[in-house]
A and B are shown apart, each in its own frame.
Chain A
């Protein structure tokens, strides 16, 4: 059993990266990711982590360097937020198509403008379709565990895909939480050395990232999407193995007091913990309400989600990003699509809230529950979603 330490989540995330014994960290500082990379630079500088720390001149270079070192067979880590992700966007897509198992922590922050350094999910949703495996963490312990988990899954011979761990900026990155560290021998049992399928090496030259003409491009894309879909079985078995070692068992969809609930909140990331307290409060008032937390975002866990909501009459989907001109937030749009063929479709009420770090409290979620129940009663279909708490709306 590892030690339980009270530490800022960013620092414990960096410690997990150290325990994963990465070979290269290429990153450019951006709020609120900064403390993770700052601490890693200290660990490399003081000799605790034997890795190349490359202070690149931009995020575009951070992802390019990560692609390069991964292509030669090194374990690569990078980390960014918001505008930094936007700047590395070009290479983010290429790393997935080249099947390079780079791991990135995305300290979620809103996309400008107006200029904002605060937390929401507009950054990750802008690259939703980039082909990386994507998970959301709820708390500091999940961040720590999922760094080691990410390498385990990404580097699996049948997966070989890059991996994003979403952690809410400030709400998670900058808080001090108790985190149970792993012992190094637990890490070594769990995480084998990285053995690439192909590597750039002069003894056996290969070409990576070549041109794909129209005659082969579609086949290349299916050859990228199929392993992402099929990675779910590796993901589930890697969670099982993680649980067997450290005693924490994770699932693609986590549920809280949902079994007999008529109405279910659906969240991603750290809002899950706040909503769970709202659920407790509403239960005390006799309301039949529960919570579904989506941990695995891509590949989307279709079966687990349909199963989790199969008995519910109403869903309240909490989105923290906007699909401008679209039909609600990205999560709600996806979930409506997932349930399209179901016989007993629940009512779906979608709230977009907590943009750029605006606080959403337990009372706000209770209020959303009331609003959703009123909407359901009226069968209002004229608005598929609501910007919660926006003045003048």
Chain B
């Protein structure tokens, strides 16, 4: 990812748009690509972690209580977690303005 800051002028870019600070891709918010978001029903969730394994963006993390939730800074809303959940505990709901 080349430069997450949106106010840089062309003069401020490094030669060849080189990134001199490694590992800055985690600053890039992919969450704003999302039109639908996963909502977990903790009554149905059996804490199996299938969603955690299948998430292609590694955006799902385990909470202190052992449930699994999506980090909405990164979650693109692809819906794979909801599709794979064996107890249908995850519902994809429309993002609203």
Contacts and interface: CB of A to CB of B under 8 A. Distances in A.
Contacts of A98: 16-18
Interface stretch (B4-12, B67-75, B82-90): B4-12
Interface residues of B, number: 17
Contact of A213 (B1, B14, B16): B1
Given A207-B22, A222-B10, A99 B3 contact: no
B1 A160 contact: no
A97 interface: yes
B7 to A, nearest CB: 9
A210 B20 contact: no
Overall SS of chain A's interface: loop
A174 interface: no
Given A97-B17, A160-B16, A197-B15, A210 B10 contact: no
A99 B16 contact: yes
A211 B6 contact: no
A210 B17 contact: yes
Contact of A206 (B1, B6, B10, B19): B19
A256 B47 CA distance: 84
A72 interface: no
Contacts of B18: 98, 197-198, 206-208
A162 to B, nearest CB: 11
B16 to A, nearest CB: 4
B15 A205 contact: no
A99 B18 CA distance: 10
Contacts, number: 61
Given A213-B2, A216-B2, A220-B2, A208 B8 contact: no
A220 B18 CA distance: 10
A212 B16 contact: no
Interface string A186-203: 000000000001100000
Contacts of B14: 198
Given A207-B22, A211-B2, A220 B15 contact: no
A74 to B, nearest CB: 16
Nearest to A157: B15
B20 A219 contact: no
A206 B20 contact: yes
Interface in B38-92: none
A148 B8 CA distance: 36
Contacts of B93: none
Contacts of A198: 14-16, 18, 20
Interface of A: 97-100, 160, 197-198, 205-208, 210-213, 215-216, 219-220, 222-223, 226
The 5 A-B residue pairs whose C-beta atoms are closest, nearest first, are A99-B16, A207-B19, A219-B10, A210-B2, A222-B10
Given A160-B16, A197-B15, A216-B13, 18 more contacts: A99-B15, A100-B16, A198-B18, A206-B18, A206-B19, A206-B22, A207-B18, A207-B19, A210-B1, A212-B2, A213-B2, A216-B8, A216-B17, A219-B8, A219-B10, A220-B13, A220-B17, A222-B10
